[in-house]
């Protein structure tokens, strides 16, 4: 078993350090200690992507993310869902604001709702929607975009929501759609996409 305490590291530090440890030691069991919810979710998702069965325990104020390598035939529901839907042309939409443009805020919010509603028109090639900065506010209760994002998620589109941004806006427990993500995941996703649409 390998244990590492990554408390105090900001995104994407915990995931990068965990990746380095897996690449160098390939442990059967790993315990990663972190001190915030975003890091807990990011490390859990990363370990699952590497074939680990994950559970989370508490140690005082710290989260202990425990990963145990399963048999070769075992895959998490998240892994199976991700692998099941890789479109022929991988399009990513990156949204970094809750409005479109820098003019009237009410108009900008209305344009964003219309934009998100129209995203289903590029299915099945829409691969991921990445939400950063104020874009994460589209994933919480009361957002007019929430039903559309939930529909896209149900269609197999990965909705990736920045954990650092959720924490900054105190929304980490308010997210109603998507998976909490980190900058390493964002960068690697952008690097493997065929096309990126950037909305800010």
Fold matches, 2-80 and 85-199: no
Taking the domains of the chain in order of start, what are their residue ranges? 2-80, 85-199
Q: How far apart are CA 16 and CA 29, in angstroms?
A: 18
pLDDT at position 102: 87
- What was the pLDDT predicted at 84? 54
**Mean pLDDT of the 74-103 span:** 76
Strand positions, DSSP E, the chain: 2-5, 29-34, 52-59, 62-69, 91-95, 126-131, 158-162, 179-181, 195-199
- Average pLDDT on 164-181 reads 95
pLDDT (0 to 100) of residue 11: 82
The residues pairing with 175 across neighbouring beta strands, listed in sequence order, are 140
Classify 155 as helix, strand or coil.
coil
pLDDT (0 to 100) of residue 71: 59
Pairing of strands 195-199, 126-131: unpaired
* pLDDT mean over 40-56: 93
Instruction: Decide which of 86 and 46 is more confident.
Output: 46
Q: What is the mean pLDDT of residues 143-170?
A: 96
Average pLDDT rounded to a whole number, residues 34-57: 92
- Cα dist. 141→69, 128, 169, 178 in Å? 36, 21, 14, 13
pLDDT in tens, 3-42: 999 999 988 899 999 999 999 999 999 999 999 998 999 9
Query: How does residue 73 score in pLDDT terms, banded at 50, 70 and 90?
Result: very low
Residue percentage of the chain with pLDDT more than 70: 92
Look at residue 133 and give its three-state secondary structure.
Answer: helix
Domain 2-80, classified CATH 3.40.50.10490, yes or no:
no
**Fold classification of 85-199 (topology level):** Hypothetical Protein Ychn; Chain: A, (3.40.1260)
């Amino acid at each position: 078993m390998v244990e590492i305490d990554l408390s105090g590291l900001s995104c994407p530090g915990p995931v990068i350090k965990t990746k380095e440890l897996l690449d160098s030691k390939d442990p059967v069991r790993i315990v990663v200690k972190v001190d915030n919810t975003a890091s807990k979710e990011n490390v859990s998702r990363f370990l699952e992507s590497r074939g680990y069965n994950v559970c989370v325990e508490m140690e005082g104020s710290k989260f202990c993310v425990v990963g145990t390598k399963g048999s070769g035939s075992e895959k998490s529901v998240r892994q199976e869902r991700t692998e099941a839907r890789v479109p022929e042309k991988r399009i990513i939409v990156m949204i970094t604001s809750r409005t479109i443009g820098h003019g009237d805020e009410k108009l900008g919010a209305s344009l964003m709702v219309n934009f998100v509603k129209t995203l289903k028109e590029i299915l099945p090639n829409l691969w991921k929607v990445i939400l950063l900065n104020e874009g994460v506010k589209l994933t919480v209760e009361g957002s007019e975009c929430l039903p559309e994002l939930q529909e896209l998620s149900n269609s197999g589109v990965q909705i990736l929501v920045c954990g650092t941004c959720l924490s900054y806006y105190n929304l980490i427990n308010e997210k109603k759609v998507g998976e909490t993500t980190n900058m390493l995941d964002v960068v690697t996703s952008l690097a493997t996409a065929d096309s990126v649409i950037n909305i800010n």
